[in-house]
């Protein structure tokens, strides 16, 4: 069974190896330059408040083209699990159904369970290995960027984009391994249910995209109870002051929590109301100092709910564990379905 | 032939229609409130760059911090970037390869209809559907995000890094607004069909279409698009009064000039400080900039006789570029369609 599974999987394995090699070369070529730039930025030797140096470094990346490489690498990391699910997972069973070779395979002395186990194991492990290797390469390459974004406090005072925020979380660490496993098994399951290749590929893409969008929005923030940080309103960190209507203003205040994932950031009255009242007169026409004094008199509070940077690896492991468990559950369902029904 | 094409295309049409409808409802529900937010920040009545700049910054910060609007804004990008590729992979590649793999092309070619007519109906009708889907999507997204795009040029120059990101000429926005998505969709569709006739197996054709289309989409803004029309080079003196900021990062020194030569909405290809002889300025860093006031650093840099050289495409050329790019992709699509017709004529039935 191993030989047969390999024989059917050969082309995809070579393509994956070639793609990995190309990416490895690209990252190896640009990696030392990035590290050199990072060493020159002064961040490794800086003791406290390295935010300005980190900001300079990020701007230098934008001007030298490394930022483009970084975004391409992140985009590839986000696309790879979906591509694995669509091109490796969905056709695994449906190709055999459509070409009729399923009947040949099932009329051999090997059981259906053993047959599916061989195919799933080989391609599934290859999928996880591909995603893992890619993630390893990208994470190694992006170490300077991660350190800089973990320090940077932008002019808004917020932690901005860092490896914990949803934009980058799924592109590094071990999360891509879980994603690849789930996407692959999702493809196989939908193939078993739909039994036609192209519709199964489309359904896998839609389902996996839906999971990837819904997960960081509604599930990941609650994997561990967020921490709450609260402090009196600090006018020096004021980001925006605006008024939708004459009686109610909204204030957005920056916060300095480097490397953490900010979930909510609200500026409220002392009693916790979101309605801050009208814009103080000195802020409409007057000096910045007078406006600051007027705002301080309102005794506002800033409440931030966030996941601290120290929890990054816990979140990676929890998320990978959940996705692997889901993958195993779907695989179990596929086995049951293949044994109980005629698919041809 | 029209009925047959529709019959084979039915499922894809319904799925696309449903997805478009859902997205249209989401945009229609949130669009009016976005416009009213634009108005309530005073952007419809402001005069002058100062008040308009503050109003624009406030409006865009509110949009950025609102989870619904920022999610929808990103969804617009994601959908418009993905839809041409999806059309190429799921509508274009299986168009002919499914018939080849199933053998039904022999039945189709044995009818009284000519092969050319058969292919013309399939390519033409599905291609029109692709054009319509991409066009509708682009129209919806351009309408919904028009307040944001209208506020972008009003921003003051260094407002939290927004002004560059939101310039409609920069690659990501250029590819997802206006008429370029139509060109991409038709091209991806034709690419899928051509890959299908050359490779004759569905899965490899889909993979090749995806890879080639992605490569072209990455290569186009980097190496081809800047040269459609010769860019404009402008130079301004970097004297003491003109330097608003400087950053040193190893060999890379970035000087921020006070004059915005290209203007709002331009596509800046390169912007660097050059010495009097025209070479890029790489240092050495003046001593006054290491430890001292910014004024001393400014004065030291001003004495070096530097100039800011900006190579850019002015904002007025935006629609020229849109038409040129769409034209190129439509021409490529026609060439690929011609390839499909030629192959269909040559192919033997056995």
What pTM value is reported for the model?
A: 0.89
Tell me: pLDDT of B13 over 90.
yes
Tell me: pLDDT of B161 over 60.
no
Question: CB–CB of A202 and B40 under 8 A?
Answer: no
Q: Is A297 on the interface with B (CB under 8 A)?
A: no
Q: Is B57 on the interface with A (CB under 8 A)?
A: yes
> Which helix (H) or strand (E) is A198 found in, with range?
helix A197-214
| Alpha carbons B84 and B114: distance in angstroms, whole number | 30
Q: Compute CA distances B320 → A228, A270, B247, whole Å.
A: 51, 55, 35
Q: Which of A20, A261, A280 is nearest to A127 (CA)?
A: A20
**Residue A84 CB partners (closer than 8 Å, separation 6+):** A127, A130, A131, A180, A183, A184, A187
Q: Would the CA dihedral through B111, B117, B122, B125 be positive or negative?
A: negative
| Alpha carbons B131 and B329: distance in angstroms, whole number | 12
**Residue A266 CB partners (closer than 8 Å, separation 6+):** A274, A302, A303, A304
Using the 8-state DSSP alphabet, how is residue B277 labeled? T
Tell me: pLDDT of B323 over 50.
yes
Residue of A nearest to B16 (CA): A202
How far apart are the CA of B272 and the nearest CA of chain A, in angstroms? Answer: 9
Q: Is A37 on the interface with B (CB under 8 A)?
A: yes
Residues of A in contact with B204 (CB under 8 A): 11
Tell me the per-residue pLDDT of A146-186, one tens digit each, with 9 for 90 and over.
888 887 654 444 446 788 888 899 999 999 999 999 999 99
Q: Which of A59, A87, A198 sits opposite B247 (nearest CB)?
A: A59
Question: Do A15 and A84 contact (CB within 8 A), yes or no?
Answer: no
Across B177-211, b (16+ Cβ under 10 Å) vs e yields bbbbbbbbbbbbbbbbbbbbbebeebbbbbbbbbe
Q: Is A56 on the interface with B (CB under 8 A)?
A: yes
Question: Do A242 and B62 contact (CB within 8 A), yes or no?
Answer: yes
Least confident of A102-116, B142-156, B157-171, B211-225: B157-171
| Alpha carbons B40 and B66: distance in angstroms, whole number | 16
As separate numbers, helices (DSSP H) first and strands (DSSP E) second, chain A gives: 13, 5
Residue of A nearest to B55 (CA): A242
Which residues 78-117 of B have a C-beta within 8 angstroms of A? 86, 90, 94, 98, 101
Question: Do B149 and B132 contact (CB within 8 A), yes or no?
Answer: no
How far apart are the CA of B55 and the nearest CA of chain A, in angstroms? Answer: 9
Pull the structure tokens for residue A122. 């080989």
Q: Is A245 on the interface with B (CB under 8 A)?
A: yes
Model confidence band, residue B185 (pLDDT cutoffs 50, 70, 90): very high
| Alpha carbons B166 and B145: distance in angstroms, whole number | 11
| B29 or B165: which leads in pLDDT | B29
Tell me: pLDDT of B244 over 80.
no
Question: CB–CB of A241 and B58 under 8 A?
Answer: yes
The whole-angstrom distance between residue A283's C-alpha and the CA centroid of its chain comes to 40
Percent of chain A at pLDDT above 90? 53
Question: CB–CB of B210 and A83 under 8 A?
Answer: yes
> By three-state DSSP, how is residue A268 classified?
strand
Tell me the per-residue pLDDT of B41-82, one tens digit each, with 9 for 90 and over.
778 888 777 778 878 888 888 888 787 888 888 888 889 999
Model confidence band, residue A284 (pLDDT cutoffs 50, 70, 90): confident
Pull the structure tokens for residue A208. 């996996």
Question: Do B26 and B76 contact (CB within 8 A), yes or no?
Answer: no
Question: CB–CB of B250 and A63 under 8 A?
Answer: no
How would DSSP label each residue in B93-160?
HHHHHHHHHHTHHHHHHTSSS-HHHHHHHHHHHHHHHHHHHHHHHHHHHHHHTHHHHHHGGGS-TTST
Residue of B nearest to A84 (CA): B207
Least confident of A316-330, B202-216, B296-310: B296-310
How far apart are the CA of B58 and the nearest CA of chain A, in angstroms? Answer: 6
Complex prediction ipTM = 0.86
Q: Is A343 on the interface with B (CB under 8 A)?
A: no
Q: Which of B159, B188, B208 is nearest to B91 (CA)?
A: B188
Question: CB–CB of A87 and B11 under 8 A?
Answer: no
Least confident of A78-82, B64-68, B105-109, B320-324: B64-68
* Strand B252-257 versus strand B243-249 pairing type: antiparallel
Tell me: pLDDT of B207 over 50.
yes
| Alpha carbons A52 and A54: distance in angstroms, whole number | 5
Question: CB–CB of B62 and A242 under 8 A?
Answer: yes
Residue of A nearest to B159 (CA): A155
Residues of A in contact with B11 (CB under 8 A): 199
Burial class (CB in 10 A: 0-12, 13-18, 19+), A324: middle
Model confidence band, residue A62 (pLDDT cutoffs 50, 70, 90): confident
> By three-state DSSP, how is residue A266 classified?
strand
């Amino acid at each position: 069974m191993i030989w047969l599974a390999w024989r059917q999987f050969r082309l995809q394995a070579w393509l994956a190896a070639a793609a990995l090699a190309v990416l490895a070369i690209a990252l190896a070529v640009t990696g030392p330059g990035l590290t050199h730039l990072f060493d020159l930025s002064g961040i490794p030797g800086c003791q406290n408040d390295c935010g300005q140096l980190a900001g300079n470094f990020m701007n230098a990346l934008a001007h030298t083209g490394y930022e483009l490489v970084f975004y391409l690498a992140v985009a590839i990391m986000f696309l790879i699990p979906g591509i694995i699910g669509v091109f490796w997972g969905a056709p695994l069973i449906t190709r055999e159904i459509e070409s009729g070779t399923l009947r040949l395979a099932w009329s051999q002395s090997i059981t259906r369970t053993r047959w599916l186990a061989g195919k799933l194991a080989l391609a599934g492990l290859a999928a996880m290995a591909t995603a893992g290797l890619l993630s390893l390469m990208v994470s190694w390459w992006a170490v300077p960027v991660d350190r800089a974004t973990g320090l940077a406090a932008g002019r808004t005072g917020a932690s901005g984009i860092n490896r914990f925020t949803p934009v980058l979380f799924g592109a590094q660490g071990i999360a891509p391994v879980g994603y690849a496993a789930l996407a692959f098994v999702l493809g196989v399951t939908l193939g078993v249910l739909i039994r036609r290749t192209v519709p199964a590929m489309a359904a896998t893409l839609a389902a996996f995209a839906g999971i990837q969008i819904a997960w960081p929005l509604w599930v990941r923030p609650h994997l561990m109870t967020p921490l709450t940080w609260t402090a009196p309103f600090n006018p020096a960190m004021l980001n925006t002051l605006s008024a939708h209507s004459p009686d109610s203003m909204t204030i957005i205040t920056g916060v300095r929590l480097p490397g953490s994932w900010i979930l909510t950031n609200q500026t409220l009255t002392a009693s916790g109301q979101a309605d801050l009242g009208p814009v103080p007169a000195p802020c409409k026409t007057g000096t910045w100092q007078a406006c600051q004094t007027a705002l301080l008199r309102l005794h506002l509070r800033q409440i931030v709910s966030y996941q601290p940077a120290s929890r990054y690896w816990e979140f990676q492991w929890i998320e990978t564990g959940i996705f692997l468990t889901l993958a195993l559950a779907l695989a179990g369902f596929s086995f049951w379905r293949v044994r109980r029904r005629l698919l041809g | 032939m029209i009925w047959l094409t529709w019959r084979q295309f039915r499922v894809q049409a319904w799925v696309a229609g449903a997805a478009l409808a859902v997205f249209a409802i989401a945009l229609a529900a949130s669009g009016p409130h976005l416009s009213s937010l634009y108005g309530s920040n005073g952007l419809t009545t402001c005069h002058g760059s100062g008040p308009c700049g503050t109003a624009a910054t406030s409006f865009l910060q509110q949009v950025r911090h609102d989870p619904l609007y920022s999610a929808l804004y990103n969804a617009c990008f994601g959908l418009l970037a993905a839809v041409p590729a999806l059309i190429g992979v799921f509508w274009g590649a299986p168009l002919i390869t499914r018939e080849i793999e199933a053998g039904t092309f022999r039945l189709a070619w044995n009818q009284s209809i000519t092969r050319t007519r058969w292919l013309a109906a399939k390519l033409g009708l599905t291609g029109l559907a692709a054009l319509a889907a991409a066009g509708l999507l682009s129209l919806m997204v351009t309408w919904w995000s028009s307040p944001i795009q209208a506020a972008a040029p009003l921003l003051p120059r260094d407002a939290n890094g927004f002004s560059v990101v939101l310039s409609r000429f920069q690659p990501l926005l250029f590819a997802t607004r206006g008429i370029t998505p139509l060109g991409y969709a038709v091209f991806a569709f034709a690419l899928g069909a051509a890959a299908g006739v050359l490779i004759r197996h569905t899965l490899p054709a889909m993979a090749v279409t995806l890879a080639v289309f992605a490569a072209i989409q990455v290569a186009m803004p980097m190496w081809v698009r800047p040269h459609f029309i010769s860019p404009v080079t402008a130079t301004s003196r970097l004297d003491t009064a003109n330097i608003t900021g400087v950053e040193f990062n190893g060999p890379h020194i970035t000087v921020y000039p006070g004059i915005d030569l290209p203007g709002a909405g331009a596509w800046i290809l390169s912007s660097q400080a050059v010495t009097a002889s025209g070479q890029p300025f790489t240092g050495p860093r003046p001593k006054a900039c290491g430890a001292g006031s910014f004024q001393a650093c400014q004065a030291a840099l001003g004495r070096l006789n530097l100039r800011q050289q900006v190579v850019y495409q002015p904002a007025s050329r935006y629609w020229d570029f849109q038409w040129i790019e769409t034209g190129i992709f439509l021409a490529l699509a026609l060439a690929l369609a011609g390839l499909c017709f030629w192959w269909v004529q040559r192919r033997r039935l056995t």
